[in-house]
Chain A
Amino acid sequence: MITPKYTREIPQRYRLEAGRCTGCGYIAFPPRLVCPECDSRDFEKISLTPSGTILTYTVVHVAAEEFSTETPLPIAIIETDDGARLTAQVVDCAPEEVKIGKRVKLMFRCVQREGHSGIHQYGYKAVLED
């Protein structure tokens, strides 16, 4: 386990901490030092709303080694309700249920056991809303 890396990523992986640009409102996830929209360097810390909509998705059938036992693995680009974008697995459903436009909630889950990022990496995954 690479302890400094694991610890450093906890705010985003566990708590969805992001930076909201005080100039234009752009939400940077993960936080950035410079706003890509307006060049402002002034951000306030927020936590993303843990719900959103699937913008696009795929179902991975051939995965990298650390995910090879989890295929077919649905993964989506999600826009959270506050307008941030992120990539996350979509779980607790049949792969064919995942569609563009479906509503999801972001949940705290184990994402990886072993791999380059270390051991037992927790983070966010998406679950379809009813």
Chain B
Amino acid sequence: MREVAILGVGMTRFGELWEMSLRNMFAEAALAAIDDAGVDHIDSMYVGSMSSGLFVHQEHIAAMLADYLGVAGIPSTRVESACASGGLAVRHALFEVASGASDIVLAGGVEKMTDGADATDALASAADQEYEAFHGITFPGLYAFIANAHMEKYGTTREQLADVAVKNHDHGSMNPRAQFPFKLTRETVMNSTMVAEPLRLLDCSPVTDGAAAVIVASMDVAQKMDRPIVKVIASGAATGAIAMHSRKDPTTIPAVGLAAERAFKQADLTPEKIDVAEVHDCFTIAELVVTEEMGFVELGKSGEAVSAGETRLGGRIPINTSGGLKSKGHPVGASGTAQIIEVVEQLRGDIGERQVEGARIGLTQNMGGSGASCVVHILEGVS
């Protein structure tokens, strides 16, 4: 397989973008990525979207977006893996370039969530519709299952959950593209509206519109361009049981551990070598569990680690410098691609005040639903 680089990145701001349609958001992000890479064409494209059908009643968006991007004629493929769609789209673009089938491929994600659909209902379709959602469980509810089990088993506290949101909003306050670029206090989080006990509104990532795109290119192409090169050194993916009740231990998300293990093996690295990571904090408890699954913190100790500042900017392993899904926003199909953009910009060293000094190796972790799918990428700045 050939070596592959991320040559260009682009995204819309995240938020309630009432003035923008799904097709315009994606085209804006894709054009920004193409311009950033400085390429004059793309050979094919991949589009991640969880549910354009339920959110805006439009399927067949791979073709539609190629058309609106002005590149009709090229192959275009939609990738769906719930909230992991954007990360998985990039993985498939990597394979297409690594195999030698194409040299320059655009991969991105998009979600238009504020056009009137019942977002709670649409998101619940990423769970087991007949054996979970049927009984009234929501997405916050599924992660609340994990939270209550984690609190019972390890003594994780309500304050520690809140500290994840506080940290990510501190980071997000430095991100001009974030939906909620403001700081929060622990008390504000703990007094916000109850959604699914013990998770409150400010434990949850928001409903967001947005799009993100990257240009994946062979190293041969990348080296000919006058751009900083960020190499993709691993892509690990895994699946797990769709219904949370089918997993052996409700405090774990096994697909995350598996995907990370595969990525670390491919890159021949251990978690200690990662300088910066973007992880899937769709809920505060999710960030805690995935940092344990990937080996950034000891099992059961993630709550202590966040409250001790180990995972904030300046800490041992800065996590979610973008603000994460929590503060930056979570347009579900776009989030996985946007994580890669944050890490690419960190490794280029030009991200501004939230820069992790000397960052050379970064990781992204993007998962679908309650964790039935996960994709992990490891990137290395080489120029």
Contacts and interface: CB of A to CB of B under 8 A. Distances in A.
> Does A associate with B in a complex?
yes
Given A85-B246, A87-B131, A87-B245, A56 B136 contact: no
Given A58-B148, A63-B120, A64-B120, A85 B135 contact: no
Given A36-B241, A58-B197, A59-B197, A87 B137 contact: yes
B349 interface: no
A59 B138 CA distance: 10
B126 interface: no
B300 interface: no
B149 A56 contact: yes
B138 A87 contact: no
Contacts of B140: 60, 62
A112 B133 CA distance: 11
A111 interface: yes
B245 A117 contact: no
B271 interface: no
A26 to B, nearest CB: 10
B131 A75 contact: no
B141 A58 contact: yes
A50 interface: no
Given A57-B148, A87-B244, A87-B245, A63 B136 contact: yes
A87 B241 contact: no
A45 interface: no
A58 B145 contact: yes
B42 interface: no
A95 B148 CA distance: 14
A121 B134 contact: yes
B interface, size bucket: 35 or more
Interface string B100-118: 0000000000000000001
A86 B146 CA distance: 15
A77 B137 CA distance: 10
Interface in A92-116: 95, 100, 111-112, 116
Most buried by A among B120, B130, B135, B137: B135
Contact of B194 (A30, A61, A123): A61
Contacts of A64: 118, 120-121, 124, 133, 136, 138
A65 interface: yes
Given A58-B145, A58-B197, A62-B140, A75 B134 contact: no
A77 B245 contact: yes
B195 interface: yes
Contacts of B134: 111-112, 117, 121, 123
Interface string B352-364: 0000000000000
A30 B241 CA distance: 13
A72 B198 CA distance: 12
Contacts of B25: none
Interface residues of A, number: 35
Contacts of B195: 60-62
A75 B197 contact: no
B350 interface: no
Contacts of B243: 87
A65 B118 contact: yes
A112 B148 CA distance: 26
A10 interface: no
B197 A61 contact: yes
A89 interface: yes
Contacts of B132: 87
Contact of B146 (A56, A112, A123): A56
Contacts of B145: 56-58, 77
Contacts of B196: 58-62
A83 B130 CA distance: 20
A67 B136 contact: yes
B137 A60 contact: yes
Contacts of B193: 61-62
B309 interface: no
B241 A60 contact: no
B358 to A, nearest CB: 41
Given A55-B149, A58-B145, A100-B149, A88 B194 contact: no
A36 B245 CA distance: 14
Interface string A39-72: 0000000000000000111111111111100101
A106 to B, nearest CB: 12
5 contacts: A57-B148, A58-B141, A64-B138, A95-B197, A123-B135
Given A65-B121, A89-B135, 8 more contacts: A56-B146, A61-B194, A67-B136, A72-B197, A75-B135, A75-B141, A111-B135, A123-B134
Interface of B: 118, 120-121, 124, 129-138, 140-141, 144-149, 152, 193-199, 241, 243-246, 250
